[in-house]
Amino acid sequence: MRIRAKIAKNEILRFISHLDFAGVLEKAVRRAKLPLELSRGYTPRLKISYASALAMGTTSEAEYADFYLRERMPVTEFVRRLNGQLPGGIKVITASQVAANAPSLMAQIRAASYWVTAELLQSSPEQLEQEWEQFLQQDKIIITKTTKRRTRQIDIVPLILATRFYPGPKSSSWDLLVASGSAGNLRPEELLEAFFAHSGFAGKIDRIHRTGLFIERFGQLMSPLARLRPAEELGEGL
Amino acid sequence: MDKIKSQLDFILPRVEKPARYIGEEWNIVKKDHSKTSVKMVLAFPDVYEVGMSHLGSHILYHIVNLRSDALLERVYTPWGDMEQELRRAGLPLFSLETKTPLFDFDLIGFTLQYELSYTNILNLLALGQIPLRAAERQEDDPFVLAGGPCAYNPEPLAPFLDLVVLGEGEEVIGELIAIFKDWKQQQGTRHEFLTAAAKVPGVYVPAFYVVDYDSKGCIKSIRPTETGIPEQIQKRVVRDLDGASFSCQPVVPYLDTVHNRSMLELFRGCTRGCRFCQAGMIYRPVRERSRETLLKQARELLARTGYDEISLSSLSSLDYFEIEKLIDDLVSEHKSAGVRISLPSLRADSFAIEQAEKIHPLRRSSMTLAPEAGSQRLRDVINKNVTEDDLLTAIEAAVAAGWRAFKLYFMIGLPTETEQDVAAIATLAQKVAAVKADGRQITRVTVSTSNFVPKAHTPFQWEGQLPRGELRKRQQLLSSKIKGRKVEHRWHDPDQSFLEAVFSRGDRRLAVVLEKAWQLGCRLDGWSEYFRMDLWEQAFAETGCDPEFYANRAIPENETLPWQHLSPGLELDFLLTERSRAFLGLTTADCSFKQCQACGVCTALRLPLKRRGERM
């Protein structure tokens, strides 16, 4: 049985890494004595797979993980028992059974949405709005991505899927939908840094919060929990 | 408190590994300060990952927090980036549980695990806005307490500490809490509290002793300055370990720590009697837990932490009287849940390999063994009762069982060591690398050499450490003798070992050096990225102190030692006999299997003499 859970990571626990977050879930599963499958190999591990790693310092209400169970159990009981063993700041919001042969979460993720707030002191809201429009109207927005191995220049225009800007006199906010996953990935801070560089404003990002992760079906972005088959076909029958 | 919490939002994104400072771990205990009479914080003089791997801290945390009248929170040494951020923001160092500044606690406890963590103690006090010296502290300031292995010679720290606890702290801490509560009710002076505390067996108040020196700078006498204060302080131990409280719900870190697993304490003490080993001397006698207790604790530990690994954490764990049965039971009970069992270190014999084979049915990465010396002659001198045959047979068995890589620990500069002994390490390593079994070969042998550091309360406490230049020369000699692609040599920095020797045999006059070094910027000295020998040299020079007097001098047997007034229960005669037996190349048997060797501990602590497996 495969259960997909949508998990929130909030408050001070935003300062733990993705690896530590995985450790929290594994230990909680063990404490809750949930019947997870074990991987084969030298060091057997609980079979849990993740959608995408969240940057340290970012809060989220849309982390997804698939739990592979060796015994069937009601999804509500799974959620209740897991939540009973999770520290404050990490919580399963909802969960649902997915088909055992569904593609892996990580391979399916196409986009992520974020709520970002930043301080931009130098300008009036009107001027900011204008600058943001100008920034987006460019044919190309080139940023430099540095990974451990190399630096490369990429155009992020195709990676910006939708945005809404809420300029304020002191603090401004953005609602961002950007490409995420192996086919193309844009981090919200990369987008905003590019904007700061383009406009010449000195900006300071206060908070980044992930509001959603999306997979693609029939050319549409939808939630990884969107159900595509009737519940009874999965044998859920709850 | 709220100021600290709000400032953390700004500070934490700027530091490496912010999870070191957030608290909020599973099994954390947060209590209401306004409703608790005695507020304590355990300050660990090293970073979070090291401190969270210390079993003793988890035990004390559990014992104190079980009480309704006291609380114990935690703080670890901030890394350099965090120290900078705290100073920039003008924030005091705070506890992880309730983000309370250190100065708001009643008692601050340090565990002294390692001499190179001493500057961290000064740094923790300073960042916690507590006066460094005990004499400068006012009625509102916390009392500063220390314990742990280095507390058997805490003299270099004496002026900074109000109280020192010798031995195991789980009973003493309760007695001190009771005294503190009385004292607080009567609104006494600091001096009154210390006087009352000094009457508790095992408690040492450095301010109540005076040290006199002769014209050559050697200690003439150490005397109590007040009546009713003992001339010698005897350590405390828990008599019945099986009945002693043990934490089955330790705080579970988010970060990957040094020992990121649950720790099961099989027994305390080790009487193998390696003559360089302080742990083997000060933690005597051996006291074991019953197998039933251990199995119950293991079950509870795993259920309450969610760890997938359990480590058998004792000195030489395989000496446990029912080790085979214990391992079999643990494996059969927890294997299906994917739980692994681990042993921190192994003696180099076939029995060890057999046990290791049961524990690691699949993962056969690297095996660590500690022959300590390269030649049989020198192994006899240090009483490491392992022969070359034992070692090679063990390795052959391990290779047959699938191990490919070995790590061998040795010490350079042991008393009586010659160039032949050093060369013998290389020869032994080559022999190990050549072992074949069932057509399998070894792929890698790592020879890791530390430098001998004479430690207080060991038969080698009188020996001088070899000069740094000589240690370096011998390490290089060994490197030059090690041949072949399979064998690799790693060695400890002789400068760090030198400093360790200075402080392990140091006296109160080193306190000014320590303070000076800290002022010059020394901290996290155990970390090579921070260790600054040049600053230490400057600190010694500016305070007019000769470090070689402490590290390299052979101390005459009749000289008063800086730790003479602090006793782990060993008879001086035992140490002297062991010393002369060492020089004669005579080994001494382990009293937990053979006859009593009259070390004096059981008599001093009024404990019955017993062998392994015999109940108290």
Residue A114 is predicted with a pLDDT of 98
Out of B12, B302, B306, closest to residue A28 by CB: B306
Assess if residue A225 is contained within a domain: no
Average pLDDT over residues B79-89: 97
Query: Where in the sequence of chain B do the CATH 3.30.750.200 domains occur?
Result: 361-496
Phi, psi of B496 (to 5 degrees): -65, -40
Could you please state the CATH topology (level 3) that the domain comprising B361-496 is classified under.
Transcription Regulator spoIIAA (3.30.750)
Same domain for A97 and A118, yes or no, is: no
**What letter does residue B62 receive in the DSSP assignment?**
H
Average pLDDT over residues B167-191: 96
Q: Which residue of B has its CA nearest to A16?
A: B19
In this predicted structure, what is the pLDDT of residue B350? 76
Please tell me the predicted confidence (pLDDT) of residue A148: 76
Position B594 scores a pLDDT of 81
Asked if A85's CB is within 8 angstroms of B306's CB, the reply is yes
Residue A31 lies in a domain: yes
Across A135-157, average pLDDT: 90
Per-residue pLDDT tens digits for B333-377: 998 888 988 887 777 777 888 888 888 765 567 888 899 999 999
- Exposed (0-12), middle (13-18) or buried (19+): which is B176, by Cβ within 10 Å? buried
Quick one: DSSP state of residue B285? S
Beta-carbon count within 10 A of A106 CB: 15
Class of residue B534 by CB neighbours under 10 A (exposed 0-12, middle 13-18, buried 19+): exposed
B302, containing H or E segment: helix B291-305
Instruction: Compute the distance between CA of residue B103 and CA of residue B144 in angstroms, rounded to an integer.
Output: 11
CA nearest neighbour of B282 among B296, B290, B271, B291: B271
Contacts of B25 in chain A (CB under 8 A): 87
pLDDT tens track for B513-532: 999 999 999 999 999 999 99
Structural domain count, chain A? 2
Q: Are residues A133 and A95 in the same domain?
A: no
CB contact under 8 A, A42 and B362: yes
Shared domain check, A204 and A135: yes
The C-alpha atoms of residue A111 and residue B292 are separated, in whole angstroms, by 54
Nearest chain A residue to B255, by CA:
A20
Which CATH number describes the domain made up of B2-234? 3.40.50.280
Same domain, A52 and A150: no
- Distance, in Å, from the CA atom of B264 to the CA atom of B241, rounded to the nearest integer, reads 13
Burial A125-147 (b: 16+ CB within 10 A, else e): eeebeebbeebeeeeebebeeee
- Nearest Cα residue in chain B from A55: B13
Residue A33 lies in a domain: yes
* Per-residue pLDDT at B368: 87
pLDDT (tens digit, 9 = 90+) per residue, A183-199?
Answer: 899 999 999 999 999 98
Whether A20 and B337 lie within 8 Å, measured CB to CB: no
State how far residue B94 is from chain A, nearest Cα, in angstroms. Answer: 16
* A27 contacts chain B (CB < 8 A): yes
Angle at B482 between CA B481 and CA B485, to 5 degrees: 145
How far is residue B612 CA from its own chain's centroid? 24
Contacts of A24 in chain B (CB under 8 A): 26, 254
- Asked if the C-beta of A18 comes within 8 angstroms of chain B's C-beta atoms, the answer is no
Taken as a whole, chain B contains a residue count of 616
Mean predicted confidence (pLDDT) in B171-191: 96
- Written as six digits, the tokens of A212 are 């959603």
CA distance B342 to B262: 10
Helices (H) and strands (E) in chain A, counts: 5, 11
The backbone region for A196, taken as left when phi is positive above 0, alpha when psi lies in -120 to 50, beta otherwise, is alpha
The confidence score (pLDDT) of residue A39 equals 87
Find the range with the poorest average confidence among A58-67, A201-210, B419-428: A201-210
DSSP codes joined into one string, B377-426: HHHHHTT----HHHHHHHHHHHHHHT--EEEEEEEES-TT--HHHHHHHH
pLDDT at B8: 92
Q: What is the pLDDT of residue B615?
A: 56
Clarify whether residues A29 and A128 are in a common domain. Answer: no
**Least confident residue range of A29-43, B350-364, B526-540:** B350-364
Do A97 and A114 lie in one domain? The reply is: no
Q: What is the CATH number of the domain that holds A56?
A: 3.30.70.580
The per-residue pLDDT for B355 is 85
Q: Is the pLDDT of residue A43 over 80?
A: no
Residues A210 and A127 in one domain: yes
With CB atoms and an 8 Å threshold, state whether B24 touches A26: no
Over residues B35-49, mean pLDDT? 97
- Which residue, A38, A73, A102, sits at the end of a domain? A102
| Mean per-residue pLDDT of chain A | 91
Give residue A182's pLDDT.
86
Mean model confidence pLDDT for chain B: 94
> How large is the C-alpha radius of gyration of chain B?
24
B363 with A43: Cβ contact below 8 A: yes
pLDDT surpasses 50 at B293: yes
Task: Answer whether residue A227 is part of any domain.
Answer: no
Searching chain B, which residue's CA lies closest to the CA of residue A24? Answer: B254
Mean pLDDT, rounded, for B445-467: 98
Report whether pLDDT(B26) > 80. yes
pLDDT surpassing 70 at residue A234? no
pLDDT at B3: 85
CA dist B541 and B513 (Å) reads 9
**pLDDT number for residue A231:** 64
For residues B137-153, give the mean pLDDT: 97
Q: A155 falls in which pLDDT band (50, 70, 90)?
A: very high
* Chain A residue nearest residue B306, CA to CA: A27
Contact of A182 with chain B, judged by CB distance below 8 Å, is answered with no
In a domain, A182, yes or no: yes
Domain region containing A48: 2-102
CA distance A103 to B273: 60
> Which residues on B lie below 8 Å from A40 (Cβ)?
none
- Check whether residue A127 and residue A166 sit in a common domain: yes
Q: What is the pLDDT of residue A237?
A: 45
Residue A232 pLDDT greater than 70, yes or no:
no
Confidence of residue B259 (pLDDT cuts 50, 70, 90): confident
Dist CA B503 CA A48 (whole Å):
49
| Same domain for A64 and A36 | yes
Mutation for A interface: B26, B310, B403, most A CBs within 10 A = B26
Minimal Cα distance from A41: which residue of B?
B362
Q: Do B24 and A12 touch (CB under 8 A)?
A: yes
Instruction: Please say if the pLDDT value at position B57 is more than 80.
Output: yes
pLDDT of residue B91: 96
Q: Strands A48-50 and A59-68, how do they pair?
A: antiparallel
CB A9 within 8 A of CB A88: no
Q: Evaluate whether residue A116 is within a structural domain.
A: yes
pLDDT, tens digit, 9 for 90 and up, residues A221-230: 999 998 766 6
Residue ranges, comma separated, of all CATH 3.40.50.280 domains in chain B are 2-234
Q: Picking from A105-109, B8-12, B104-108, B363-367, which range would have the lowest pLDDT averaged per residue?
A: B363-367
The DSSP symbol for A26 reads: H
Give A36 to chain B, closest Cα distance, Å.
Answer: 9
A238 pLDDT tier (thresholds 50, 70, 90): very low
Q: How far apart are CA B123 and CA B616, in angstroms?
A: 43
A204 touching chain B per CB within 8 A: no
Segment A110-135 mean pLDDT? 91
Amino acid identity at B128: G
**What percent of chain B is predicted at pLDDT more than 70?**
99
Mean pLDDT along residues B194-206: 97
Order of strands across the sheet that contains B107-111: B70-76, B38-44, B107-111, B143-147, B163-165, B203-204
The answer on A143 and A84 residing in a single domain is: no
Contacts B338 to A, Cβ<8 Å: 38, 44-46
Does residue A237 lie within any of the structural domains? Answer: no
Q: What residue type is assigned to position B605 of the chain?
A: L
> Nearest Cβ partner of B24 from A28, A45, A87?
A87
